[in-house]
């Protein structure tokens, strides 16, 4: 009886491998689609690196007031502002008209004698005008002004505190000099943010390069898409075949298990072959093969095919199963941040994606390619494989109880 079971398993694998030519053809078609998706995603990431918020602000300066004009030139050249704001000198009417036309996001109006008042300690406010239905740029500008005012207030209070302290201890001669020194320090730090902040590059793709990120996502997407071609392998066999197997001592559970092993082996061999070819061609920069990669690929294949088999058991194969595999696969990859990086997704989608299987499939493949295989991801993949395989067999058994 064991001999018959082994022979049956061998024939299952053999008949599965007969589908390889058809699968290679479909893989080529799907691979083209995956490459297009990868390129689009890569383009999105590259583009986003150069994206800046540009806020146009009208500066209404009193005519002939060179101090204020100079002040605006200084402010405009500050690092913290120049990457976001562009000050355009206008007169009042021009500025109002531009604000109405949506060409600018705000107006800063400096009153006459502003600098003189400032020098004599008189608090003369500058007027800031923003539109009634403010857009995102205006809101950002308002926040900037608020932050700037607070920052200025802090600096000023620091300078005044030092002056008061010197006065208190009788160092009257040092007051003016200390104020000049402190203004210099303040301006130096305000001009160059690097004194305050360490440079840190944050990438949406984590430690992996964009190309590597999309290669890993592409492998999973390709595996999911290609598995649709083999859905017929999991279709219910004709009742006569199942009855004949049953009378021969071969159960439905064993048949399902053999079908699963056959498809997993076929995909594993096919994808390993593709990776071997890629590692010897132009893609060798991103794809290196070692035992960790091979084992991870086997584990991921086992998990993905178990998932597909489960959906086939639910949907009785055919169109329903194909749609289920496609839609759930696409959603899992999207929510897992493998089509558009997670940082671009709504929080709820990102959180959902973190618990879906595609996340651990991609993490395992990515870690195997570019670091060392992530043991946690490997364990989760194995758990998903067992879970989906068990659930698929259970559905088969339950559906087989009809008669």
Partner 1 sequence: MSLIEVSKITKNYGKKQVLRDITFSAEAGECIGIVGANGCGKSTLLKILSGAHKPDGGSISYNNENPLARSSVFSRYVGYVPQENPLFDNLTVLDNLRLWYCDSSHNLKDDIRNGIIAEFGIDRYLKSIVRTLSGGMKKRLSIACSIAKNPEILILDEPGASLDIVCKEDIKRYMKKYVADGGSIIIASHEESELSVCSRMFLMDNGILINLAPGTALSSLMGRIAGKDDNND
Q: Which residues bind partner 1 (CB under 8 A)?
A: 1, 3-4, 7-8, 11, 14-15, 18, 238-241, 243-244, 246-249, 403
In whole angstroms, the minimum distance from the beta carbon of 4 to partner 1 comes to 5
Q: Which is nearer to partner 1, 100 or 246 (CB)?
A: 246
Say if residues 175 and 182 touch (Cβ distance below 8 Å): no
In whole angstroms, the minimum distance from the beta carbon of 26 to partner 1 comes to 18
In whole angstroms, the minimum distance from the beta carbon of 18 to partner 1 comes to 6
Q: Which is nearer to partner 1, 172 or 403 (CB)?
A: 403
What gap in Å lies between CA 107 and CA 220, rounded to an integer?
Answer: 52
In whole angstroms, the minimum distance from the beta carbon of 6 to partner 1 comes to 9
Structure tokens at 196: 């305050």
- C-alpha torsion 224→229→230→235, nearest 10: 110
Q: Which is nearer to partner 1, 8 or 185 (CB)?
A: 8
Say if residues 385 and 303 touch (Cβ distance below 8 Å): yes
Q: Which is nearer to partner 1, 238 or 346 (CB)?
A: 238
In whole angstroms, the minimum distance from the beta carbon of 307 to partner 1 comes to 24
Q: Which is nearer to partner 1, 26 or 242 (CB)?
A: 242
CA dist 115 → 7, 119, 188 (Å): 95, 6, 21
Structure tokens at 131: 């539109």
What gap in Å lies between CA 105 and CA 153, rounded to an integer?
Answer: 25
Strands lying side by side in the sheet with 85-89 = 85-89, 55-60, 106-109, 127-129
Q: Which residue is it, tokens 């670091």?
A: 371
In whole angstroms, the minimum distance from the beta carbon of 232 to partner 1 comes to 10
Say if residues 310 and 388 touch (Cβ distance below 8 Å): yes
What gap in Å lies between CA 14 and CA 261, rounded to an integer?
Answer: 11
**Phi, psi for residue 317 in degrees, rounded to 5:** 60, -155
The residues, any chain, with a CB within 8 Å of residue 233's CB and separated by 6 or more, are 16, 19, 259, 262, 263
Q: Which is nearer to partner 1, 2 or 282 (CB)?
A: 2
Please name the helix (run of DSSP H) or strand (run of DSSP E) that holds residue 218, with its range, or none. helix 210-227
Q: Which is nearer to partner 1, 3 or 51 (CB)?
A: 3
In whole angstroms, the minimum distance from the beta carbon of 23 to partner 1 comes to 14
In whole angstroms, the minimum distance from the beta carbon of 390 to partner 1 comes to 23
What gap in Å lies between CA 65 and CA 70, rounded to an integer?
Answer: 9
Give the 3-state secondary structure of residue 357: helix
Q: Which is nearer to partner 1, 3 or 172 (CB)?
A: 3
Q: Which is nearer to partner 1, 96 or 317 (CB)?
A: 317
In whole angstroms, the minimum distance from the beta carbon of 265 to partner 1 comes to 16
Say if strands 106-109 and 127-129 run parallel, antiparallel, or are unpaired: antiparallel
**Phi, psi for residue 378 in degrees, rounded to 5:** -65, -40
Q: Which is nearer to partner 1, 82 or 246 (CB)?
A: 246
In whole angstroms, the minimum distance from the beta carbon of 49 to partner 1 comes to 52
Query: Would the CA dihedral through 302, 355, 367, 37 be positive or negative?
Result: positive
- Sort 361 into a burial class: Cβ within 10 Å, 0-12 / 13-18 / 19+: buried
């Amino acid at each position: 009886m064991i001999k018959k079971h082994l022979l049956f398993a061998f024939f299952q694998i053999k008949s599965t491998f007969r589908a390889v030519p058809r699968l290679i053809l479909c893989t080529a078609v799907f691979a083209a689609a995956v490459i297009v998706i990868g390129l689009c995603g890569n383009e999105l990431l590259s583009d986003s690196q150069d994206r800046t918020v540009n806020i146009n602000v009208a500066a209404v300066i009193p005519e002939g007031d060179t101090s204020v004009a100079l002040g605006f030139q200084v402010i405009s050249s500050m690092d913290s502002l120049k990457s976001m704001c562009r000050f355009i000198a206008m007169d009042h009417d021009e500025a109002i008209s531009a604000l109405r036309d949506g060409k600018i996001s705000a107006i800063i109006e400096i009153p006459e004698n502003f600098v003189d008042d400032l020098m004599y300690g008189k608090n003369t406010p500058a007027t800031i005008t923003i539109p009634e239905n403010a857009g995102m740029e205006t809101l950002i500008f308002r926040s900037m002004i608020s932050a700037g005012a607070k920052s200025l207030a802090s600096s000023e209070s620091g300078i005044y505190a030092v002056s008061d302290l010197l006065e208190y201890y009788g160092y009257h001669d040092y007051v003016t000099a200390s104020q000049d020194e402190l203004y210099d320090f303040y301006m130096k730090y305000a001009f160059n943010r690097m004194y305050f902040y360490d440079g840190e590059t944050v990438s949406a793709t984590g430690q992996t390069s964009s190309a590597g990120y999309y290669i890993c996502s592409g492998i999973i997407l390709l595996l999911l898409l290609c598995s649709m071609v083999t859905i017929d392998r999991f279709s219910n066999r004709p009742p006569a075949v199942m009855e004949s197997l049953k009378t021969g001592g071969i159960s439905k559970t064993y048949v399902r298990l053999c079908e699963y092993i056959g498809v997993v082996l076929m995909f594993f061999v096919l994808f390993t072959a593709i990776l071997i070819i890629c590692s010897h061609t132009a893609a060798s920069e991103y794809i290196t093969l070692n035992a960790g990669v091979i084992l991870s690929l086997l584990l991921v294949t086992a998990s993905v095919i178990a998932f597909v088999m489960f959906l086939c058991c639910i949907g009785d194969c055919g169109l329903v199963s194909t749609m289920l595999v496609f839609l759930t696969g696409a959603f899992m990859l999207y929510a897992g941040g493998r089509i558009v990086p997670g940082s671009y997704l709504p929080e709820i989608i990102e959180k959902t994606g973190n618990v879906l299987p595609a996340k651990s499939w991609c993490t395992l493949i990515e870690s195997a390619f570019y670091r060392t295989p992530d043991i946690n991801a490997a364990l989760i993949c194995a758990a998903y494989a067992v879970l989906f395989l068990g659930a698929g067999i259970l559905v088969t058994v339950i559906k087989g109880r009809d008669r």
